[in-house]
Amino acid sequence: MLDGRVGRIEIGDNVDIARECCLYTLEHDPHSDQHHVRGANIIIEDHVWLASRVTVLPGVTIGQGAVVASNAVVTRDVEPMAVVAGIPAKKIGVRKSKLDYVLSHFPYFC
In a domain, 44, yes or no: yes
Global pTM reads: 0.92
Residue 104 has a pLDDT of 86
3-class DSSP assignment, residue 103: coil
Per-residue pLDDT tens digits of the chain, which is 110 residues long: 999 888 899 999 999 999 999 999 999 999 999 999 999 999 999 999 999 999 999 999 999 999 999 999 999 999 999 999 999 999 999 999 999 999 987 766 65
In a domain, 76, yes or no: yes
- Dihedrals φ, ψ of 10, to 5°? -105, 125
Structural domain span for residue 28: 2-94
Does the annotation count 28 as an active-site position?
Answer: yes
Cβ atoms of 75 and 59 within 8 Å: the answer is no
Read off the CATH number of the domain in which 29 is found. 2.160.10.10
In a domain, 21, yes or no: yes
In a domain, 105, yes or no: no
In a domain, 99, yes or no: no
Distance of CA 64 to the CA centre of its chain: 11
Domain count, the chain: 1
In a domain, 101, yes or no: no
d(CA 90, CA 28): 23
Catalytic entry in 28, 31, 36, 47: 28
